[in-house]
């Protein structure tokens, strides 16, 4: 099932809000959209419930967004909508919205000689880290799967997932008195880049050893992994920089 065409305006508003948050490197909740705005954009309560239950949207009361503790995101379960409800896209929702908006509407041509509309480049997908399955995916493709614990790598992936995959995050690894944090981060990023089943994501530092960036890496024919770092074939780094 797919939402009707009338929902496109609201999906575009939600996607714009997400992209604003990425451009400013701030929490996506800072750009949460009120229910009244989404209704004006074509969504009704049934549409909103479907999007939430499909895990394309998170919602929270507007009052919670103003609290110091931050919004309590809600997904499935009993969904009570009110005029105070606000919504943001999940990583799955970003991919869904981009996919829906990229589809060419089925409109019959007005004139036989009218030039065909040019299709723009496909919108980039957002990665998804499933901490329960311990799988990193880009769209439908499995990028990396951990069969044994790799705490440092999983902390970075979990932080990116929680922040809806911004272009940059500060080093999220906890400090350790006996470990050089810059060396540990460098080795962990190398491990993330190694032994990817589909080498589609490249993890990089920010140049000063204190942050993490990521970018899409087009798959190369016959490539089993991206260079840098060391990791065992089962998807985990033997030491992740020497120690955890």
Q: What residue ranges of the chain have pLDDT lower than 50?
A: 68, 75-77, 220-244
Q: Which residues are within 8 A (CB) of 51 and not within 5 positions of it... i.e. 6 or more apart?
A: 3, 43, 57, 93
**Nearest-angstrom CA–CA distance, 187 and 161:** 20
Q: Are 206 and 199 in contact (CB under 8 A)?
A: no
Provide the pLDDT for residue 132.
Answer: 92
End-to-end CA gap in the chain:
45
Instruction: Supply the pLDDT for residue 238.
Output: 43
Q: What is the pLDDT of residue 100?
A: 84
- The whole-number pLDDT of residue 130 equals 94
Q: What is the pLDDT of residue 78?
A: 53
Q: What pLDDT does 115 receive?
A: 56
Which two tokens mark 235?
Answer: 């998807």
| Residue 187, both tokens | 């080795």
Q: What tokens does 50 get?
A: 């479907």
The pLDDT assigned to 116 comes to 56
CATH 1.10.3470 fits 5-102, yes or no: no
């Amino acid at each position: 099932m797919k939402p009707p065409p009338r929902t496109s305006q609201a999906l575009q508003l939600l996607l714009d809000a997400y992209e604003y948050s990425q451009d400013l490197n701030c929490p996506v909740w800072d750009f949460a959209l009120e229910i009244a705005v989404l209704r004006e954009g074509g969504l009704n309560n049934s549409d909103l419930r479907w999007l939430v239950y499909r895990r394309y949207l998170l919602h929270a009361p507007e009052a919670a967004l103003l609290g110091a503790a931050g919004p309590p995101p809600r997904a499935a379960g009993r969904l009570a909508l009110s005029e105070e409800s606000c919504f943001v896209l999940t990583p799955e929702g970003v991919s869904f919205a981009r996919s829906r908006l990229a589809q060419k509407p089925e409109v019959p041509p007005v004139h036989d000689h009218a030039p065909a509309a040019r299709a723009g480049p496909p919108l980039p997908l957002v990665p998804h880290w499933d901490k329960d399955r311990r799988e990193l995916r880009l769209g439908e493709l499995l990028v990396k799967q951990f069969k044994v614990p790799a705490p440092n790598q999983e902390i970075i992936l979990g932080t990116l997932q929680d922040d809806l995959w911004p272009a940059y995050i500060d080093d999220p690894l906890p400090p350790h008195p006996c470990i050089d944090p810059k060396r540990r981060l460098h080795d962990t990023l190398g491990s993330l880049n190694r032994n990817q089943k589909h080498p589609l994501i490249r993890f990089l530092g920010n140049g000063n050893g204190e942050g993490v960036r990521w970018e899409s890496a087009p798959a190369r024919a016959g490539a089993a992994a991206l260079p840098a770092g060391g990791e065992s074939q089962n998807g985990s780094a033997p030491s992740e920089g020497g120690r955890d």
